[in-house]
Structure 1
Amino acid sequence: MKSPGQEIFDYVGQQSELMGYDTYDHLPMESENVDYPFVQVGDYDIVPIPNKSAIGAQVNLTVNVWGSEDQRLEVDTMANSLLMLLSKRSYTPHFRFIGMLSGSSVQMLKDTSVPGTVFHHAIVQMKFNLI
């Protein structure tokens, strides 16, 4: 059985693809020659939340959206569409989650780390509670 973190990772990746976004579980290598914009489902961490009768958890997932210099609006739209996954309950094969808009965020950045290029990079921090 997968961990709650892996199931949320897979779930968000599948939902991103259903939205029509090119989605990767890693930052594509230069040799993969991908088109912009794209989504990269990133790292997660699991915070156990013990209570009287069970052990719950909070899963924090980072999702990155990358676009070229002229795709700021697309990157912003994609990032906020992914954030809205938190507005409903999520069901994976082994767990039920509720998204937590409070404490989640979207950050828009300009990335100039590759000489001669400007990318738009949205970082979506998502919080899910195991229910």
Structure 2
Amino acid sequence: MKSPQQELYDHVGGYSQSLGYDTYDHLPMQSENAPYPFVQVDGVTTVPVPTKTAIGAELNLTLNVWGNQEQRLDVDTMANTLLMVGSQRFKTEHYRFKGVMGGSSVQIMQDTSVPDTILNHAIIQLKFRLI
């Protein structure tokens, strides 16, 4: 059986793909020649939340959207569309999740870490409760 973290990771990655976005579980290597824009499903952090009868959890998932210098609108649109998964309730094979919009966010910035290149980079933080 998969952990809640893995099922959430797989679900959100699949959701991104279902929207038609090129989606990776890593930053594509130069040899992969990934076209911009694309989505990278990053890490998941889990915080256990004990209750009287069970142990629940809050899970925080990070997504990155990358686009070239001319794709700021595309990056913004993709990031805000993906943010909406943070408002949903859904069931995976073994778990039920509830998005917590109050704990989710989007940040868009320019990235110049690649020489002679300006990229648009959105960081989407999504918060979920295991229910």
The answer to whether structure 1 residue 27 and structure 2 residue 22 are counterparts is no
| Cα distance in structure 1, aligned partners of 2:40 and 2:87 | 21
State the TM-score, normalized to the length of structure 1. 0.98
CA RMSD in angstroms comes to: 0.6
Q: Percent same amino acid at aligned positions?
A: 63
Which residues of 2 match residues 73-84 of structure 1 at below 5 A? 73-84=73-84
Aligned equivalents of 2:104, 2:75: Cα separation in 1? 17
Deviation at 1:103, TM superposition (A): 1.4
Q: 1:128 Cα shift?
A: 0.5
Q: 1:15 is matched by which residue type in structure 2?
A: Y
Q: Which runs of 4+ in 1 moved over 6 A?
A: none
Gaps of at least 5 residues in structure 2 are: none
Matches for 1:56-95 after TM superposition, within 5 Å: 56-95=56-95
Question: How many angstroms does 1:87 deviate by?
Answer: 1.6
Deviation at 1:29, TM superposition (A): 0.5
- Aligned counterparts, 1:1-131, within 5 A: 1-131=1-131
CA–CA separation in structure 2 for the residues paired with 1:115 and 1:124: 25
3-state DSSP of counterpart to 1:102:
helix
Shift of 1:77: 0.4
CA deviation digits over 1:40-62, x for unaligned, max 9? Answer: 00011111000001110011000
* Residues matched between the structures, number: 131
Structure 1: distance between partners of 2:90 and 2:22: 21
Distance between the aligned counterparts of 1:107 and 1:86, measured in 2?
Answer: 15
Output the CA distance in 2 between the equivalents of 1:75 and 1:58.
Answer: 27
SS in structure 2 at match of 1:21:
coil
State the AA in 2 paired with 1:50.
Answer: P
Tell me the alpha carbon deviations over residues 45-87 of structure 1, each in whole angstroms, 9 at most, x when there is no partner: 1110000011100110000000000000000000010000122
